Amino acid sequence: MAALQLQATPLKTLAFSRRRGAAARPRMAAASFRCSAAARSYNITLLPGDGIGPEVVAVAKDEKLMGGSALDATGVPLPDETLSAAKDCDAVLLGAIGGYKWDNNEKHLKPETGLLQLRAGLGVFANLRPAAVLPQLVDASTLKKEVAEGVDIMVVRELTGGIYFGKPRGFGTNDKGEDTGFNTEVYSASEIDRIARVAFEVARKRRGKLCSVDKANVLEASMLWRRRVTALASEFPDIELSHMYVDNAAMQLVRNPKQFDTIVTNNIFGDILSDEASMITGSIGMLPSASVGESGPGLFEPIHGSAPDIAGQDKANPLATILSAAMLLRYGLGEENAAKRIELAVTETLNQGFRTGDIYSPGTTLVGCKQMGDEVLKTVESQKAVAALN
C-alpha cells in the first residue's frame, strides 16, 4: 500500500494508507492511521473541502469529496459515498468549505448545505469551541494585554436545534401585502438536557465553572432552557453554575473574558459568541473545534473559513487544523496522551518563533502553510527521540 503521511496537521506518527490500486481522489479521504501514543489504528475520514481546506489538511490524508469540490464533481454538496464513509469511520477531520464560486447557487446546492447535512447524518449535536490565548501570541489579540492574557474559554454550542432548524420557516406575505421572512426558535427538554450534560462534563474536566447563556427575560425557548439547565445542576454538585443574558455575555467577553471557564448556549447564540471569543486569541487560524454526539464518529474542524482569496498560495495557517486533530484524539478517540503531544508540539513550534502571516510580528520567522506543518512534525519527532532515550 502506498503510505500517506501527515504533514501539516497532527503528527508524523499518524500514517495513512490508501487501498491498493485505488485512484487518487480529489479532495476527500477515508484514511486509517496509526498513532504511536495509542499503539493502535483508527479509521479517519478526511474532508479537505474548498479554498485553503486542502492545504491545511494536505497535511493528513485519504480524502472524500464535500462542499464545492463535491458540487463540481458530482452535482451535490455531500455525496452519499462521503456520508457513508464518515458514518463508518472512527472520526472525521474537515478542512473548510465554501467559496465565492458557489455563492449564488440555490440553497440546496450551496457547499454549506453539505456541512449541515453531514452534521445531521452523523448525529452530532454538541459543538466544542476552545478559545485560549497562548502566551506567545498575546500581543496579537485586539484586547489589551492585561485583559487577554491567560484567557482560556470553552464554548459548548448546541448544534442541531434552535432557529437554524426550527419549523415553520420560510417566506410569506403579511396583511399589508409586504414580503416577510420567518424562522422558529424551538427547543425540546431532551435537546436542552443532552447539551447541558455535555457542558457540565466538559466543565468538570476544566476548572469547574459553567455559565449558561440565554435570553430568558424575553424568549420562551430561553425560559425553558434556563429551567432545564438549572434542574440538571443538582446532578453536578461539584460544578459552579451561573446564568447570563446573551447581550451581557457578548459585552463581558470583551470586558473581562477571564471570568469565563465553560459557556453553554443555544445554536444561534453559540454561533455568535464563539466567533467573538475566537478573536480574543488574535487569529481564527489558531482555533480548532469538535462536534460530537451520543454515539458514532465526531466531526473535527478548524473554525476558519475556506479563505478562497489565499487558496493555493501556501499562506494558510495550518495550526487550527493540527489542533483539531488533537481534539479528535482527545474527544473522539480518548487518546489524551497523543492529544497532548500534538498541543505541546504546536506550543514548542511557536516558542521557536515560526509564524504564518496571520500571526506574524517583527522578530519572528515568517513561514508558509507547508513549512509550519513541517516544523510541528520536527518537534513531534524530537519528542519521540527524547522518549526513546528515556
| List 152, 275, 314, 384, catalytic entry | 275
Task: Identify the burial level of 265 via C-beta atoms within 10 angstroms of its C-beta, where 0-12 means exposed, 13-18 middle and 19 or more buried.
Answer: buried
HEC readout, 127-182: EEEEEECCHHHHHHCCCCHHHHCCCEEEEEEECCCHHHCCCCCEEEECCCCCEEEE
| List 80, 88, 247, 309, catalytic entry | 247
HEC readout, 22-84: CCCCCCCEEEEEEECCCCEEEEEEEEEECCCHHHHHCCCCCECCCCHHHHHHHCCCCCHHHHH
Q: Is residue 309 among the annotated active site residues?
A: no
The rounded distance, in Å, linking the Cα atoms of 31 and 93 is 10
Closest C-alpha among 256, 50, 44 to residue 150? 256
Q: Is residue 61 among the annotated active site residues?
A: no
Closest C-alpha among 46, 11, 26 to residue 301? 46
Query: How many residues are given for the chain?
Result: 390
| Placement of cell 443538582 in the chain | 234
| List 62, 215, 261, 331, catalytic entry | 215
Q: Is residue 331 among the annotated active site residues?
A: no
| List 50, 271, 358, 374, catalytic entry | 271
The rounded distance, in Å, linking the Cα atoms of 208 and 375 is 35
The rounded distance, in Å, linking the Cα atoms of 369 and 97 is 18
- Strands 240-245, 262-265: pairing kind: unpaired
Q: Is residue 164 among the annotated active site residues?
A: yes
| List 72, 101, 164, 209, catalytic entry | 164
Q: At what angle do helices 369-389 and 319-327 cross, to 10 degrees?
A: 50
Question: Which residues have C-beta within 8 Å of that of residue 84, sequence separation ≥ 6?
Answer: none
Q: Is residue 103 among the annotated active site residues?
A: no
Which DSSP letter does residue 13 get? T
Which DSSP letter does residue 385 get? H
Question: Which residues have C-beta within 8 Å of that of residue 14, sequence separation ≥ 6?
Answer: 5, 6, 33, 34, 35, 60, 325
Give catalytic residues, as residue numbers. 164, 215, 247, 271, 275
